[in-house]
């Protein structure tokens, strides 16, 4: 399950996984993100705040996640991965080779610095 908040005035999306990711999470997320992209042209920043990676509820959820990334990564300027998880902090290293946005890791206690970095995307 994903919780997400759109900080419209900053053009930043904050995503917090709170349980196994489901197909419906990405469908709901797209309904929030797509109008913002249409309005602003892109998303300045995406902050993923996670204590750990909860995995996917099903293989269909995994595929929906991949499709979401493929469809949206070109419209996001920067991604801040805010976590202390050893597994998740390697994500910027791997994803940086595969997707367009600049990606940077921040520790959980550096959330304010992550938001500041995202705001400098434009």
pLDDT band for position 66 (50/70/90)?
confident
The two structure tokens encoding residue 108: 């959980």
Q: Which of these, 68, 57, 66, lies nearest to 31 by C-alpha position?
A: 68
The per-residue pLDDT for range 75-112, each reduced to its tens digit, is 988 989 999 887 666 665 555 545 668 888 899 999 99
Structural domains in the chain? 2-119 (3.30.750)
Assess contact for 22 and 58: CB atoms under 8 A.
yes
């Amino acid at each position: 399950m994903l919780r997400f908040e759109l900080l419209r005035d900053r053009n930043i999306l904050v995503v917090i996984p709170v349980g196994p990711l489901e197909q419906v999470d990405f469908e709901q997320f797209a309904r929030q993100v797509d109008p913002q992209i249409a309005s602003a042209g892109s998303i300045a920043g995406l902050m993923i705040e996670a204590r750990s990676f909860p995995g996917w509820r099903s293989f269909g959820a995994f595929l929906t996640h991949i499709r979401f990334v493929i469809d949206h990564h070109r419209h996001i300027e920067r991604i801040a991965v805010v976590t202390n998880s050893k597994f998740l902090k390697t994500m910027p290293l791997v994803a940086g080779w595969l997707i367009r946005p600049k990606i940077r890791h921040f520790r959980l206690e550096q959330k304010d610095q992550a938001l500041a970095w995202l705001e400098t995307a434009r």
